Chains A and B, each alone.
Chain A
Amino acid sequence: MMNSYLNIDHVSITFPTDTGPLNVLKDVDLKVTQGEFISLIGHSGCGKSTVLNIVAGLLNATEGGVILEEKEVTEPGPDRAVVFQNHSLMPWLTVYDNVRLAVDQVFKKSKSREERHRWTLHNLELVHMTHALDRKPGEISGGMKQRVGIARALAMEPKVLLMDEPFGALDSLTRTHMQDSLMEIQGRLNNTVIMITHDVDEAVLLSDRIIMMTNGPSATIGEVLHIDLPKPRNRLALAENPTYNHYRAEVVRFLHDRHHQPEYEEAETAEVSEERESIVETLPTAASDATDRRLRTVAAMRSADHQSSDEKHLLTEEAS
Chain B
Amino acid sequence: MATPITSTTFNLPRLDRLLQRLASDQVGKSFAQLIKQLLVPIVALMVFLGLWSVGAKSVETSLGVLPGPAKVWEQSKALYTEHNAERVKAAAFYERMEKRVDQAIADGQPAERIEKMRSRKYTGKETFIDQIFTSLMTVMAGFLVASLIAIPIGIVCGMSNTLYTAINPLIQIFKPVSPLAWLPLVTMVVSALYVTNDPMFSKSFLNSAITVTLCCLWPTIINTTVGVSGVDRDLINVSRVLRLSAFTKTVKIVLPSAIPMIFTGLRLSLGIGWMVLIAAEMLAQNPGLGKFVWDEFQNGSSNSLARIMVAVLVIGFIGFLLDRSMLMLQRMFSWDKNAILR
Contact = CB atoms under 8 A, between A and B. Distances in A.
Interface residues of A, dominant DSSP: loop
B259 to A, nearest CB: 8
A310 interface: yes
Nearest to A85: B234
A208 to B, nearest CB: 24
B256 A90 contact: yes
Contacts of A81: 241
A101 interface: yes
A58 B252 contact: no
A284 interface: no
Given A91-B336, A92-B257, A138-B336, A77 B235 contact: no
A90 B253 contact: yes
Nearest to B248: A105
Given A90-B252, A101-B242, A76 B237 contact: yes
Contacts of B243: 75-78, 105
B163 interface: no
A106 B242 contact: yes
Interface string B66-84: 0000000000000000000
Interface in A57-106: 57-58, 75-78, 80-82, 84, 86, 88, 90-93, 101-102, 105-106
Interface of B: 232-235, 237-238, 240-244, 248, 252-253, 256-257, 259, 335-336, 338
Contacts of A56: 237, 241
8 contacts: A77-B243, A78-B243, A84-B234, A88-B235, A90-B252, A90-B256, A92-B257, A310-B233
Contact of A102 (B232, B240, B242): B242
B256 A76 contact: no
A227 to B, nearest CB: 28
Interface residues of A, number: 26
Contacts of B335: 91-93, 136
B238 to A, nearest CB: 5
B249 to A, nearest CB: 10
Contacts of A93: 335
A126 to B, nearest CB: 19
A84 B253 contact: no
A309 interface: yes
Most buried by A among B242, B244, B335, B338: B242
Contact of A105 (B234, B244, B257, B259): B244
A165 to B, nearest CB: 13
A81 B240 CA distance: 10
Nearest to B255: A92
Given A90-B252, A136-B335, A138-B338, A58 B242 contact: no
A136 B243 CA distance: 23
A116 to B, nearest CB: 14
B235 to A, nearest CB: 6
Contact of B238 (A57, A88, A92): A88
A90 B235 contact: yes
Given A90-B252, A91-B336, A101-B252, A58 B235 contact: no
A156 B336 CA distance: 27
Contact of A88 (B234, B252, B336): B234
Given A78-B242, A136-B335, A138-B336, A92 B256 contact: yes
Most buried by B among A56, A82, A90: A90
